[in-house]
Amino acid sequence: MKRSHVLHLLLVQVIFLLPLLCLSDDYVSSRATFYGSPDCKANPRGACGYGEFGRDINNGEVSGVSSRLWNNGTGCGACYQVRCKIPPHCNEEGVYVVATDYGGAGGDFIFSLEAYGRMARPGTEDQLYSFGVVDVEYKRVPCRYGGSNLVYKVHEKSYNPHYLAVLILYVGGVNDILAVEVWQEDCKEWRRMRRVFGAVHDLENPPRGTLSLRFLVYGSAGINWVQSPNALPADWTAGATYNSNILLT
């Protein structure tokens, strides 16, 4: 695909994302339900590609989100404050969740059982579960990852030096990763990685040696490339996690 076409697609994506990224005290009305998982957790095969990590992040308080919020994987890892609207059963604060999967079941959220119950007043969890689907209101909020800001993992299916896939694990603040590129030193150019699905980006025959990555970030500061020199060592291995040392706010 020509670079001009790629930039055009990114511009369209940014226009679509604009209303989703605006921080506001105003809540949006929607509906929410929960996974019927036998272990009370989220889907380990979630569409973001997180695997078991996607069930345990944020103490298991996670959610699948509608196609509008998921946005072809760009919305993976986004954070929301959600509260239900049944006064006798719902607390005022609601629940802080991380988007780890695709699916809304007629609304915008499918919570883990833990996250769904967090919206209830003490002692009313069973009553809230009995509704199955509830009216909610939500807003996007900054992600808080306790010191981790922009962290990625080399996907387990990667094979050095022939195939590299990167899974974006943590994106701090209110930011979305639109694209990832790898620096090709011998050609003096950036090579675009393909978004395979969710938060996974890949590249066949990546450059040899230490790799530099850059990320196209869209957030409160607008749209910008941020670069991580020496992002991956020459001996990068499948399953290893790396910190970009990039600070996103």
Q: Which residues, listed in sequence order, are joined to residue 127 by a DSSP beta bridge?
A: none
Phi, psi (degrees; rounded to nearest 5) at 178? -85, -30
User: What is the second-level CATH architecture of the domain 150-246?
Assistant: Sandwich (2.60)
Q: Letter for the amino acid at 149?
A: N
pTM for the model: 0.89
Asked, as a colleague might, if the bond just before 229 is cis with ω within 30 of 0, I would say no
* Neighbouring residues of 84: CB distance < 8 A, sequence distance ≥ 6: 32, 90, 94, 119, 120, 128, 134, 135, 136
CA 195 to chain CA mean position, Å? 13
Q: What does the angle CA 52 – CA 227 – CA 177 come to, to the nearest 5 degrees? A: 45
Q: Where are the domains of the chain?
A: 28-140, 150-246
Asked whether the beta carbons of 22 and 222 are under 8 A apart, the reply is no
CA distance 32 to 134: 6
Q: Which residues contact 7 (CB under 8 A, 6 or more apart)?
A: none
List beta partners, residue 164: 203
pLDDT by residue, tens only, the chain of 249 residues: 445 444 444 544 544 444 455 555 789 999 999 987 656 667 767 899 999 898 899 999 999 999 999 999 999 999 999 999 999 999 999 999 999 999 877 899 999 999 999 999 999 999 999 999 999 999 999 998 876 789 999 999 999 999 999 999 999 999 999 999 999 999 999 999 999 999 999 999 999 999 999 999 999 889 999 999 999 999 999 999 999 988 887
Q: Which residues contact 185 (CB under 8 A, 6 or more apart)?
A: 207, 209
Q: What is the CATH number of domain 28-140?
A: 2.40.40.10
Residue type, 134: V
